Amino acid sequence: MRSQASVLHLDLDAFFAAVEQRDKPSLRGKPVVVGGVGGRGVVATASYEARVHGVRSAMSTREARSRCPHAAFLSGRFHAYREASRVVMGLLREVSPLVEPLSLDEAFVDLERADLPDLEVATVTDFAQDLRRRVHEATDGLTASVGLATSKLVAKIASDLDKPDGLVVVAPGTEQELLRPMRATIIPGVGPATAERLRRAGIVTVADLEAAGLDELVRLLGRAHGGGLHQMARGRDDRAVVAEREAKSVSVEGTYDTDLSDLRLIEGLLARQAGEVATRLRAAGLSGRTVSIKVRFHDFTTLSRSTTLASPTDHGPTVARSARALLAELVAGPDTGPQVRAGVRLLGVGVSGLADWVQEDLFADDADDETEDEELPEPPRARHLGAWAPGMDVEHAELGRGWVWGAGRGVVTVRFETRETPAGPVRSFPDDDPALTPWSPTEPDEDEPVSGPA
């Protein structure tokens, strides 16, 4: 723990939804829900207007639609989110060389490495306000909430206290009195399962946590977690802000709108995912030794199987071959075989045990490469979703740029507006109209919607 409030945590408010409202002027001030729009989708982000109606992250989209039927339900444009994130992270790095992104919309910044005359509360407060203003300006209107404290733990909690568009500085020495009355779940890492275990032991607040002995917490939660909480409850947190963190795994998974039971289709989809994982490994200059598959059954029970190769790979057919072998073991299992045949809702492939170098594979089997030409199956899609996902950017040969308002029954409805040209007309087209094409800014790489293949 530091003696001054020099750890800054910045969190962009309702990030995905805010980017949509920025780029789609007709949605400003209206409820917007970004997430999976298929039958099994969940909410990634809801705008504050939608939250008023009880829509929350991680809620099923079905539930969100029933709570807020008049919201705009969009499937997400990751290129736009990545771009906005890039701008913000760049700005933070201008301020301090020590920036630790936690996700597209969140980062820690170490102010000990910033160019400040001192780290007194008044100084860092002014600094943070200026930073928030600069984020707003650089992103064309996004707002950020900021927390400043003597540790990561308290800075992160602080940034959440005055959302949206807020700033909370926790003066050094006041951490304990801030945390004590709060629920234990305020501490990152205390989720539903941990909270329930604690509750059964009579521990509900941070003060309860503080009063509990180390032995008791370790007994309840294990050595690492229990020990960590014992420290956190006292506001003790010495974790450093770390700029570079290496990836440990790369994975692709998908939930399908209808359960799969055709083994050939399942195999084909796994092979396709293996190819995507390998492509991403190569793009990142990584390779890995452990190949895993993940299978979720119709009843939501989930299992994983993994195998470790003799040397790291970034080769699609090699990953696919391992994935298929793991699937074959499941299919042959006396318990798991019938489960697979009864219906699979999710499939995934991952590679871990990563090395940041690619070993020449001296034993490469050329026959593997044949599978690269194989015709891979398309995942089953929801009937109402074709190539036109709600929210996506499109361009019409005569009418210019806009976004997909809705699609279905052979018709696409487009609202012709952009950030610069608000309040354009709404028009419908046959969904195979050659004048209408998806519009993608600069990024050549494909963007999967939040909903994935569903």
Partner DNA sequence: TCTGGGGTCCTAGGACCC
> Is 451 a binder of DNA (CB under 7 A)?
yes
**335 marked as part of a ligand binding site:** no
How many residues are given for the chain? 454
d(CA 427, CA 404): 10
Reported as type and span, the H/E element at residue 372 is none
Q: Which of 281, 359, 285, 255 is nearest to 40 (CA)?
A: 255
Output 4 or 205, the one with its CB closest to DNA: 205
Q: Please, what is the minimum distance in Å from the beta carbon of residue 251 to DNA? A: 4
Q: Which of 89, 110, 74 is nearest to 240 (CA)?
A: 110
> Is 304 a binder of DNA (CB under 7 A)?
yes
Among positions 52, 211, 214, 247, the unique one binding DNA when judged by CB under 7 A? 247
Residue 276 CA, chain-centre distance (Å), reads 18
Question: From residue 59 to residue 98, what is the string marking binding to DNA with x (rule CB under 7 A)?
Answer: -x-x------------------------------------
d(CA 376, CA 361): 25
Output 305 or 415, the one with its CB closest to DNA: 305
* 167-169 and 144-149 beta bridge pairing: parallel
**105 marked as part of a ligand binding site:** yes
> Is 316 a binder of DNA (CB under 7 A)?
no
Where in 21-60 is the site for DNA (CB under 7 A)?
35-36, 39-42, 44, 57-58, 60
Output 268 or 452, the one with its CB closest to DNA: 452
Burial profile 321-359: b = 16 or more Cβ within 10 angstroms, e = fewer: bbbbebbeebbeeeebeebbeeebbbbbbbbbbbeeeee
Say whether 112 is catalytic.
no
d(CA 33, CA 130): 30
SS3 state of residue 330: helix
Output 108 or 429, the one with its CB closest to DNA: 108
Burial group, residue 370, by CB count within 10 angstroms (0-12, 13-18, 19+): exposed
Q: Stretches 21-29, 46-54, 295-303, 426-434: which one binds DNA (CB under 7 A)?
A: 295-303
> Is 231 a binder of DNA (CB under 7 A)?
no
> Is 272 a binder of DNA (CB under 7 A)?
no
Output 193 or 367, the one with its CB closest to DNA: 193
What phi and psi values does residue 292 have, to the nearest 5 degrees? -125, 150
> Is 441 a binder of DNA (CB under 7 A)?
no
Q: Which residues are catalytically annotated?
A: 106
Which residues carry a binding-site annotation for Mg(2+)? 11, 105
* Chain residues in the site for DNA (CB under 7 A): 35-36, 39-42, 44, 57-58, 60, 62, 102-106, 156, 188-195, 222-225, 247-255, 257, 280, 289-290, 292, 299-300, 302-308, 345-346, 348, 350, 352-353, 382, 448, 450-454
